Chains A and B, each alone.
Chain A
Amino acid sequence: MKFRGKIIDIACLNHFTRVVTTISKLTKMCVLRLTPDNLFFVLSGKVANGGVSMWCELSQANFFDEYQMEGVSSEDNEICLEVTPENLSRALKTVQNAKAVKVKLTKKHCPCLTIAAELPTLSSVSRVVTHDVPVDVIPRRLWHEFKEPSMPDFDVSIYLPPLKTMKNIVDRMKNLSNFLVIEANLNGEMNLKIETDLVSVTTHFRDLGNPPWGDDASQDGGPSQSRDPESMVEARVDIRRLQQFLVGQQVNPSKAMCNIVHQSVLHLILLHEDMSLQYFIPAVA
């Protein structure tokens, strides 16, 4: 198994760092899948993290100037590593002014992702800073847990309001309740609701727009045209999970939307220029 990538462009380095930092805010540990064309940060839904799962896809060509990898074998030309994204983020954040950054899979006292940056100095010799981030190699028999999640059979799909606005609201609602109900309809309306014994608060959003998934993406269950555009579908989620998702977003995505499966799962999708992020929050009763 070999992996060697090099980032030379400062903007690419900056974007990559931001992606990794976003991931680090979403989860303490995740799986990094490396394929010849892509990098994936994957979190598989487990009881331990409240059933939340995440899928982040980056095209390596958007970030790396050089990228070489050799997977476990020729049929399984992939590398799966369990990593703590915060370590990667810390390492990358300190080398933002580097002339070049190499990311390599190495074996020191344990398998590591080594970030080696060449920094400019006043003297003729460049300074090299290395960060060794320990990783765990995931064996092939467990790879099935980290496959791309299939699009859920959603009832409503709607564009999200500006994430910053959502975050402010969710932050305040978190003080009042542990659970939040997110409901939306095909008329571009979304409500965020909390309800306790003492108080109930609802924030209404209008004219958000619904993504045109098209008939083939509409579900087998009921074709979306037959759904009453006014009727709301809802999912009641742990407010901390939603807040965690919103806190991590540092840049406004090109597109932000969510799919709701009535009382089942909230599927958030963010599309940026160079990466896509999907986040699944299961609904609670």
Chain B
Amino acid sequence: MNCVLEGNSIKAFGKAIHALSRVGDELWLDPTVKGLALRSVNSAHSAYACFLFSPLFFQQYNLDSVREQDSGPIKCKLVMKCVLPLFRCSTSIEHSVKRCQISVSTGSDQVIVQFFCRHGITKTYNVRFLESEALQAVFASHLCPNVLKSPARLLGDMVMHFHASQEEVTLSMSAPKVSLRNYNEGRNDHMKMMHTEMSLHPDEFDYFQAGMDSDITFCLKELRGLLCFAESHCLPVSVHFGTPGKPVCFSVEDMVLEATVVLATLADFESRGPSQPTETPAPTTHSCADAAALPVGIHETQSNNLQVLPDVTELVESSQGSPITYPPVLMQLQCQGDSACAGMTPPSSMICSLLFEAMSSESGDDDDAPRLPVLAYFSDEEDYPRSPSL
């Protein structure tokens, strides 16, 4: 693989790496026909981020011819600590770097990053990579009952009210408003913790769909990188979420790139003590078994979510057609059919894991929809935009 970046793209690329560095310690570089995908996941597998740069983003973009035994281009995993310093100082990059060339050398297992700078200086960095299976998370964002699309600065402004040390926040949808508050686990010193809350009116959003009332709690740290990126590019941020326990997806998109962050959310509210008086009574249990028996009033897609999960062995469309890696904890969430969820983690579990399937927003085209067995009929296609478009 060989690609060349010029001008502002270099800065954008660097910012993407910054955002990814907030998520995980390793960077997956995945050159595909659709573009170069940069991905990262955190150690707990509760946060995943992906930046997909289409070939148009680059001055030049060439995929090498196939290697002997493998079916396609390289999948490589880099240590973030090695890559981040290259793009650390965005102001100096802006001033001095004219061109950046990134190539993957299979023979020596290296990614070669060359900066062609002013005054004839060329900086070459060889970063060793580990060959690895593709990392790809799949999230059926078009099935999410709640969708928000916020202008670039809105989420950033909101998040600014929370201190950098605040780890988790709760986003509550209860039509007709959305509120955001900090989440403090029941700790001994909870009496001393500050409590921050704000609410947003639907008018502030470019798109507001409140399919169901829900409170999701997720970690803010991994999100800040994406919000920073969105703000610097003035891109609106889309948020797709559903019931607590299901992942929440934040994405930004423009003509040449797509970025997504998928975060796990806390599954259980019952463990919260009386010290959280502002807690709105959330739907209590969300085990698969219960969901299957949800009253008619709840949105149809609710039950769909659980049954649309693919077979473990199904090769969902990933760039290389390689099997997806499923961390062990996720296996439990794979519900097969109605008798589903014997293996489901009990409601009291505090950890929620990601579903690893093909990202619907990444795949981008409609071919993917038939791959996932849709067992229920969408009453109204227009209500569920597959991915936010500008």
A: which residues have CB within 8 A of B? 84, 87, 90-91, 94-95, 108-110, 112, 121-125, 127-134
- A80 shortest CB reach to chain B, Å: 18
**Complex A-B: 18 CB contacts under 8 Å:** A84-B192, A91-B194, A91-B196, A109-B274, A109-B277, A125-B201, A127-B198, A127-B204, A129-B196, A129-B198, A130-B197, A131-B194, A131-B195, A132-B195, A132-B196, A133-B194, A134-B191, A134-B193
Q: A108-B277, A109-B275, A109-B277 are in contact. Are A128 and B198 (CB under 8 A)?
A: yes
Residues of B within 8 A of A108 (CB): 195, 277-278
| Interface residue? B66 (CB, 8 A) | no
B: which residues have CB within 8 A of A? 151, 160-161, 163, 190-201, 203-204, 274-278
State in angstroms the CA–CA spacing of A95 and B201 once bound together.
18
Residues of A within 8 A of B274 (CB): 109
State in angstroms the CA–CA spacing of A132 and B199 once bound together.
15
State in angstroms the CA–CA spacing of A131 and B203 once bound together.
23
Give me 10 other A-B pairs in contact (C-beta within 8 A), A129-B161, A132-B197, A134-B195 excluded.
A109-B190, A109-B274, A109-B275, A109-B277, A122-B204, A123-B203, A124-B203, A128-B198, A130-B197, A131-B195
Across the A-B interface, give the 5 residue pairs with the lowest CB-CB distance, nearest first.
Answer: A123-B203, A132-B195, A129-B198, A125-B201, A94-B161
Residues of A within 8 A of B204 (CB): 121-123, 125, 127
CB-based A-B contact count at 8 angstroms: 59
State in angstroms the CA–CA spacing of A121 and B195 once bound together.
22
Residues of B within 8 A of A87 (CB): 194
Residues of A within 8 A of B203 (CB): 123-125
**CB-based nearest B residue for A136:** B191
Residues of A within 8 A of B191 (CB): 109-110, 134
Residues of B within 8 A of A121 (CB): 201, 204
State in angstroms the CA–CA spacing of A131 and B277 once bound together.
15
Residues of A within 8 A of B163 (CB): 90
State in angstroms the CA–CA spacing of A129 and B198 once bound together.
4
Residues of B within 8 A of A128 (CB): 198-199
- A92 shortest CB reach to chain B, Å: 11
- The residue that A127 contacts in the complex, of B192, B194, B199, with Cβ under 8 A, is B199
- The residue that B194 contacts in the complex, of A123, A125, A129, A132, with Cβ under 8 A, is A132
State in angstroms the CA–CA spacing of A87 and B201 once bound together.
27
- B59 shortest CB reach to chain A, Å: 36
**CB-based nearest A residue for B273:** A109
State in angstroms the CA–CA spacing of A128 and B191 once bound together.
23
State in angstroms the CA–CA spacing of A109 and B197 once bound together.
14
Assess whether B277 is in contact with A94, with CB atoms less than 8 Å apart.
no
Assess whether A129 is in contact with B195, with CB atoms less than 8 Å apart.
no
Residues of A within 8 A of B193 (CB): 134
**CB-based nearest B residue for A29:** B192
State in angstroms the CA–CA spacing of A110 and B278 once bound together.
12
State in angstroms the CA–CA spacing of A11 and B276 once bound together.
35
State in angstroms the CA–CA spacing of A132 and B195 once bound together.
5
- A270 shortest CB reach to chain B, Å: 28
Residues of A within 8 A of B192 (CB): 84, 134
Residues of B within 8 A of A91 (CB): 194, 196
- B279 shortest CB reach to chain A, Å: 11
- B181 shortest CB reach to chain A, Å: 9
Assess whether A131 is in contact with B196, with CB atoms less than 8 Å apart.
yes
Residues of A within 8 A of B198 (CB): 127-130
State in angstroms the CA–CA spacing of A121 and B198 once bound together.
13
State in angstroms the CA–CA spacing of A133 and B193 once bound together.
7
Assess whether B278 is in contact with A127, with CB atoms less than 8 Å apart.
no
- A4 shortest CB reach to chain B, Å: 19
- A88 shortest CB reach to chain B, Å: 9
State in angstroms the CA–CA spacing of A120 and B274 once bound together.
33
State in angstroms the CA–CA spacing of A129 and B182 once bound together.
12
Residues of A within 8 A of B277 (CB): 108-109
State in angstroms the CA–CA spacing of A131 and B162 once bound together.
10
State in angstroms the CA–CA spacing of A127 and B194 once bound together.
19
State in angstroms the CA–CA spacing of A178 and B347 once bound together.
55
State in angstroms the CA–CA spacing of A106 and B193 once bound together.
15
- B343 shortest CB reach to chain A, Å: 38
- A20 shortest CB reach to chain B, Å: 13
State in angstroms the CA–CA spacing of A90 and B166 once bound together.
12
User: Which of B160, B201, B276 lies at the interface centre, i.e. has the most chain A CB atoms within 10 A of its CB?
Assistant: B201
- B319 shortest CB reach to chain A, Å: 39
State in angstroms the CA–CA spacing of A87 and B200 once bound together.
23
- A128 shortest CB reach to chain B, Å: 6
Residues of A within 8 A of B196 (CB): 91, 129-132
State in angstroms the CA–CA spacing of A225 and B191 once bound together.
55
State in angstroms the CA–CA spacing of A90 and B195 once bound together.
11
Assess whether A94 is in contact with B160, with CB atoms less than 8 Å apart.
yes
Residues of B within 8 A of A109 (CB): 190-191, 274-277
Residues of B within 8 A of A134 (CB): 191-195
- B203 shortest CB reach to chain A, Å: 4
**CB-based nearest A residue for B153:** A122
**CB-based nearest A residue for B277:** A109
Residues of A within 8 A of B199 (CB): 127-128
State in angstroms the CA–CA spacing of A133 and B195 once bound together.
7
State in angstroms the CA–CA spacing of A87 and B151 once bound together.
29
User: Which of B163, B196, B203, B278 lies at the interface centre, i.e. has the most chain A CB atoms within 10 A of its CB?
Assistant: B196
**CB-based nearest B residue for A132:** B195
- B69 shortest CB reach to chain A, Å: 56
- B158 shortest CB reach to chain A, Å: 8
State in angstroms the CA–CA spacing of A223 and B283 once bound together.
77
Residues of A within 8 A of B276 (CB): 109
State in angstroms the CA–CA spacing of A108 and B276 once bound together.
9
